[in-house]
């Protein structure tokens, strides 16, 4: 502010407007099953301790915080996620100062992280509380490692790593990142780095011992387990990660058929490619250890997701390191600085076009979660205990959390809880039928067969609601 830095001023001025837009988005898809959703269950241990394949006590605690007043969800989640993103943005700005990047490089790295379309899957999603804070604590561990001396440095490193991994499991990768980053920029020598890595692995091992010593609740997730062993899924995840991270492409305009606009899609690719080609097409950088170590760190931080499941939201986990790489490449670019800034503004143009489109689609796809839930409650007329929800598959092509079919927008019936103050129904069973010409009749026949076991049956066909009592 004192230096009237236009990049930082742009971030500060835009932040309230971005937050306002985010708050308009209602929960959809995984937002209805996240642990941070208002939780009124009394068996705290089930959620605070490992649940299924994950251990995310931060999410579980937020679930009980949101339960203090169910109106807090999803607003509080949105606010906290955006605060984490702003916190990471500030840390990256300060970290590039510690790494002695020039002013232009610092500004570009910071604004790249702040506005990259790679952030959209995180800052627009209520389910991304874990991812945003895992990144914040992780990138903060690097900053504190480089700026604190003595025992306090190790305390900060341990605390930040544990906070990161307790936010989301992939945060464990940050246990070994700080000394590698220090070695990359000659803050420590190789011998010291090896000793520090031993300490980092000890942090990771201690977490694993605690993690696997705790009682846990097994939950089968078939699709998740299939992704782990699928080579096709691993290759697809790698390609998605690279494209989401480096290009400000409007993927909705490219891959989502109902919203396809190839002119806009290819325009955003070209605008962002010009900047990326310019900074990466520098033969001299490949003769230095820094770029290779930075790429190694990038893969280390992203590795948990690359090994399991990589989505737009998951790509956020390594975006801070990607921003550091952008800053490093710009710092090493010794030619025409004004031209570099011009090309970056072209990237920003592509990013803004992409972000606005992704926000709009996320907002629109979330609206049925409330309107359909209200219609279900109106037609049900009175509180019920056990419900069977028959959903007829919406044939709208899905794209991440920005374009989701109706059954996912309403959380397979769970969105009703937000309308009933999470009081009823106590139990919701669901099934989804593929869309055929006779599917409505099939749904009614199924409802007639099972209605005696339930207080009522809901049949949801896009926005058409039928209640059979």
Which among 68, 82, 74 has a CA at the least distance from the CA of 37? 74
Q: For 263, phi and psi rounded to 5 degrees?
A: -65, -50
| pLDDT tens sequence across 222-253 | 555 555 556 777 788 888 899 999 999 999 99
> What whole-number distance in Å separates Cα of residue 461 and Cα of residue 187?
61
Structure tokens at 288: 């230095």
- What's the angle, vertex CA 409, arms to CA 133 and CA 379, rounded to 5? 130
| pLDDT tens sequence across 102-131 | 999 999 999 999 999 999 999 999 999 999
Structure tokens at 267: 């325009």
Q: How many helices (H) and strands (E) does the chain have?
A: 22, 4
What is the reported pLDDT for 396? 86
Mean pLDDT of 146-166: 96
What is the reported pLDDT for 1? 44
Judge contact between 35 and 59, C-beta under 8 A. yes
* DSSP letter (8 states) at residue 435: P
| pLDDT tens sequence across 449-459 | 998 899 999 99
The model's pTM: 0.93
* DSSP letter (8 states) at residue 335: S
- Average pLDDT over all residues of the chain: 92
| pLDDT tens sequence across 59-70 | 999 999 999 999
Task: Specify the range with the lowest mean pLDDT, choosing from 336-340, 417-421, 442-446.
Answer: 336-340
* DSSP letter (8 states) at residue 437: T
| pLDDT tens sequence across 355-411 | 999 999 999 999 999 999 999 999 999 999 999 999 999 888 898 889 999 999 999
């Amino acid at each position: 502010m004192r230096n009237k830095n236009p990049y930082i001023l742009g971030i500060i001025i835009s932040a309230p407007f971005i937050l306002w837009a985010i708050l308009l988005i209602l929960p959809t898809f995984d937002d209805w099953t996240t642990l941070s959703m208002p939780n009124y269950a009394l068996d705290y241990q089930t959620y605070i301790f490992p649940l299924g394949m994950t251990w995310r006590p931060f999410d579980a605690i937020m679930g009980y915080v949101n339960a203090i007043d169910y109106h807090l969800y999803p607003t509080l989640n949105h606010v906290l996620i955006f605060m984490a993103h702003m916190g990471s943005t500030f840390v990256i700005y300060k970290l590039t100062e510690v790494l002695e990047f020039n002013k232009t490089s610092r500004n570009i790295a910071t604004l790249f992280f702040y506005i990259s379309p790679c952030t959209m899957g995180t800052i627009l999603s209520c389910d991304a509380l874990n991812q945003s804070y895992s990144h914040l604590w992780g990138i903060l561990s690097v900053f504190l490692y480089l700026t604190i001396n003595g025992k306090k440095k190790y305390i900060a490193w341990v605390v930040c790593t544990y906070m990161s991994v307790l936010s989301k499991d992939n945060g464990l990768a940050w246990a070994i990142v700080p000394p590698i980053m220090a070695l990359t920029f000659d803050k420590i020598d190789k011998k010291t780095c090896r000793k520090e890595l031993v300490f980092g692995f000890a942090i990771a091992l201690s977490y694993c011992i605690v993690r696997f010593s705790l009682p846990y609740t097994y939950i089968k997730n078939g699709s998740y387990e299939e992704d782990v062993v699928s080579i096709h899924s691993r290759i697809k995840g790698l390609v998605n990660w690279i494209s989401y991270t480096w290009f400000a492409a409007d993927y909705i305009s490219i891959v989502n058929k109902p919203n396809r606009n190839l002119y806009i899609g290819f325009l955003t690719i070209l605008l962002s490619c010009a900047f990326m080609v310019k900074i990466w097409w520098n033969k001299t950088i490949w003769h230095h250890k820094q770029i290779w170590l930075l790429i190694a760190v990038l893969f280390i931080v992203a590795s948990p997701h690359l090994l399991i499941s990589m989505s737009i939201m998951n790509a956020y986990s390594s975006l801070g390191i990607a921003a550091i790489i952008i800053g490093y490449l710009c710092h090493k670019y010794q030619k025409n600085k004004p031209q570099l800034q011009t090309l970056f503004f072209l990237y920003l143009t592509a990013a803004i076009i992409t972000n606005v489109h992704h926000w709009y689609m996320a907002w629109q796809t979330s609206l049925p979660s409330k309107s359909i839930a209200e219609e279900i409650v109106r037609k049900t007329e009175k509180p019920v205990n056990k419900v069977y929800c028959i959903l007829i598959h919406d044939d709208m092509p899905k794209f991440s959390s920005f374009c989701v079919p109706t059954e996912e927008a309403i959380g397979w019936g769970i969105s009703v809880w937000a309308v009933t103050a999470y009081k009823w129904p106590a139990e919701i069973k669901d099934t989804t039928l593929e869309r055929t010409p006779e599917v409505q009749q099939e749904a009614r026949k199924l409802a007639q067969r099972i209605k005696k076991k339930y207080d009522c049956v809901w049949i949801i066909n896009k926005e058409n609601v039928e209640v059979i009592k």
